[in-house]
Structure 1
Amino acid sequence: MSAAAAVDQAPEQQHSEALLEIRGLEKRFSLSGDFLEQLKFRRGRLVREQSHVHAINGVDLTIQRGEALCVVGESGCGKSTVARTVMGLLRPSGGEIHYDGERIDHLDSRALLPYRKRMQMIFQNPYASLNPRMTIQQTLEEPIRLHHADWSPQQVRDKVAEVMTDVGIAPDWGSRYGHEFSGGQRQRIAIARALAVDPEFIVADEPISALDVSIQAQVLNLLMEAQQERNLTYLFITHDLAVVEHFGTRVAVMYLGRVCEVASTATLFARPRHPYTQALMSAIPRLEDDRPQHIRLTGEVPTPVNLPTGCVFHGRCPSANERCRREIPHLIATDDGSLVACHGVEEGRLT
């Protein structure tokens, strides 16, 4: 049984307003080095050459208050870059990020401080996300002291004990160091650190992928319980579609830095519309005899350094036409409420 199978169905979420809005988000990483390294001699002339990794390219997403939006896609599609850009760990190359109606992507570290308390992140690797020189008590006290400078030492200790109990770890662990714990225990500590300042929005960047399968369900259940008890909103990054089916309210599918489909979890699993999403869904192991046959994609995955023209998926799509090769598709609403960036769906060639 997979970890997701042990997780109870996600509670019905009540959400009617956007907490986070991402508009035309772009992020490029330079491969050219500094200015002098960019200067090259070509045909006897000095020219400046620049190349970039186009990690995310015009991403539009809206996250409603109280929901869990899962972002899925293969490795290198840009989903973790989206998460880090939303949290301000990376500066976007273009586009806007709005949190609770206020634009935040252009703010400096001081202006972002009030949002740090409301937005927290759980990282993928619990072995690297905890400072090895700090005890667990110090690790959990640090964000509380930063955001509640007026609290007394006893108030801080009481809060640390409270969040440790909430995530199922003993308060007497506080005097120990991170290397003394297993991966699952470290991830619980990381979750406690995120909850210590009572946030309303959490970005979870593949928080269970580095854990044993036997521990994954426990951590997922912990995240779901915290969402129900604290009315949290999640941006959940994962590549495990079985987890998405049980955890997510809605799902955004990414390919090569672009969002190709957004739909409610039930709709996406019942009727995927984009050809890439259909290929992903067909790869999920199923026990049913009538499951759709596995879709084998042909062609090479394009490089994010030299993006293809038009739809980034057209080189592997069996339904691509000339329009797909020259024109970038944008998300359009379909009859079942999902958003799909596909010319074939827009034209009625694909259903």
Structure 2
Amino acid sequence: MTTIAEPLATPGYDSASATPLLEICGLEKRFDLSGDFLEQLRFKGGRLVRHQEFVHAINGVDLTIQRGEALCVVGESGCGKSTVARTVMGLLSPSAGEIHYDGARIDALSPRALLPYRKRMQMIFQNPYASLNPRMTIQQTLEEPIRLHHPDWDRERVVAKVREVMASVGIDPDWGGRFGHEFSGGQRQRIAIARALAVDPEFIVADEPISALDVSIQAQVLNLLMDAQQERHLTYLFITHDLAVVEHFGTRVAVMYLGTVCEVAPTRTLFATPRHPYTQALLSAIPRLEDDRPQPIRLSGEVPTPVDLPSGCVFHGRCPYAEPRCRREVPKLRPQADGSQVACHAVEEDRL
């Protein structure tokens, strides 16, 4: 069985750096469910009115990522983790808010103006069976981004780069003539990682890159990502729902619930002393071998729908510490003495 390597101190990581590599401010993303204009028209009280419905996928997300760190974003399915990742990469346009990369705002840039950032920012997708073009060989797949970002390179240099990046992820460079379906899931994800590394990026968004893989090879791929971080001084935005992975991989952790960030903390701090009630419930569900471990926290109620968000704190309907203020007022992320940030009225008022 392959073990997960212990994370090392990442070169270049400085938690007090003045300018984050990535800064997300008040980010929102809504998906329209209303259809076209005619489908939005309704008769109500004898009058013709326009009715619109939206899925509020992410709501006022604020995050910063410093150079060299791995920020893990966790939360249950549907909480908006992948939407944050795709919005950061420009695959989705934000409904509101700003995204700054290395001090420059990038969310409003045209595709042409965004092209230089594409080389610096790359993404690894969740499903290795869908992320590779079945009509292209692995050689063609890896050559494509290199030729796009380095049109001045000659054929020999491109081929040499492909062979180098294939070898770096543990794939035989002589297999470049094969197609994606000839590889296992783990090998395909290694190829997807090689594609992301081919243009020598400094920032990688990894959207649940190991969740579609067998448990026996998840550790291998995770070790590969950690080795690449050390060797290439990479910065990660790592989306996952696997808390065991977070504990080994992350520098800091952001916990999301229903499109909002509940808590952000250094990894060791979060696992040792979770502050937000949702984070406490989430961590209590991790299977442990200890005989004296406390019972998992059982939350009452159902997760609200993102189409009709509750007022105030989105977690108040399931929180055992909720009070009238929680139903009225949206809590803001506030810094704590231990270096974490928590969006909770109960924590702010010392009730928790």
Q: Same fold (TM over 0.5)?
A: yes
Of 10, 27, 47, the match for 2:7: 10
Separation in structure 1 between the aligned mates of residue 45 and residue 328 of structure 2, nearest angstrom: 31
Separation in structure 2 between the aligned mates of residue 292 and residue 204 of structure 1, nearest angstrom: 33
CA RMSD in angstroms, aligned pairs only? 0.9
Separation in structure 2 between the aligned mates of residue 232 and residue 86 of structure 1, nearest angstrom: 16
- Return the letter of the residue paired with 1:143: P
- Return the letter of the residue paired with 2:350: G
Partner of 1:81: 83
- Please give the secondary structure, in 1, of the residue aligned with 2:26: strand
- Please give the secondary structure, in 2, of the residue aligned with 1:175: coil
Of 327, 330, 333, the match for 1:331: 333
How much does 1:253 deviate? 0.1
Q: Which moved more, 1:282-291 or 1:46-55?
A: 282-291
How much does 1:15 deviate? 1.9
Separation in structure 2 between the aligned mates of residue 248 and residue 288 of structure 1, nearest angstrom: 24
Which digits, 9 at most, give the CA deviation of each residue in 1:277-303, with x for residues without a partner? 000000001112232320000001100
Separation in structure 2 between the aligned mates of residue 317 and residue 42 of structure 1, nearest angstrom: 36
- Please give the secondary structure, in 1, of the residue aligned with 2:294: coil
The equivalences for 1:267-282 within 5 A come to: 267-282=269-284
Separation in structure 2 between the aligned mates of residue 172 and residue 44 of structure 1, nearest angstrom: 72
Of 281, 288, 308, the match for 2:310: 308
How much does 1:169 deviate? 0.2
Moved over 3 A (4+): none
Separation in structure 2 between the aligned mates of residue 290 and residue 264 of structure 1, nearest angstrom: 26
How much does 1:108 deviate? 1.1
- Please give the secondary structure, in 2, of the residue aligned with 1:305: coil
Which digits, 9 at most, give the CA deviation of each residue in 1:71-117, with x for residues without a partner? 00000000000000000000000000000000000011111000000
How much does 1:308 deviate? 0.2
- Runs (5+) with no aligned partner, structure 2: none
Which digits, 9 at most, give the CA deviation of each residue in 1:215-264, with x for residues without a partner? 10000000000000000000000000000000000000000000000000
- Please give the secondary structure, in 2, of the residue aligned with 1:185: helix
Of 328, 341, 344, the match for 1:342: 344
Separation in structure 2 between the aligned mates of residue 290 and residue 73 of structure 1, nearest angstrom: 26
Separation in structure 2 between the aligned mates of residue 259 and residue 9 of structure 1, nearest angstrom: 27
Separation in structure 1 between the aligned mates of residue 25 and residue 294 of structure 2, nearest angstrom: 35
Which digits, 9 at most, give the CA deviation of each residue in 1:297-336, with x for residues without a partner? 0001100000000000000000100000110000001111
Identity %: 82
The equivalences for 1:259-270 within 5 A come to: 259-270=261-272
Separation in structure 1 between the aligned mates of residue 46 and residue 344 of structure 2, nearest angstrom: 45
Partner of 1:29: 31
The equivalences for 1:79-118 within 5 A come to: 79-118=81-120
Partner of 1:42: 44
- Return the letter of the residue paired with 1:205: D
Structure 2 length-normalised TM:
0.97
Separation in structure 1 between the aligned mates of residue 236 and residue 76 of structure 2, nearest angstrom: 20
- Return the letter of the residue paired with 2:7: A
The equivalences for 1:230-241 within 5 A come to: 230-241=232-243
Of 198, 203, 206, the match for 1:204: 206
How much does 1:36 deviate? 1.4
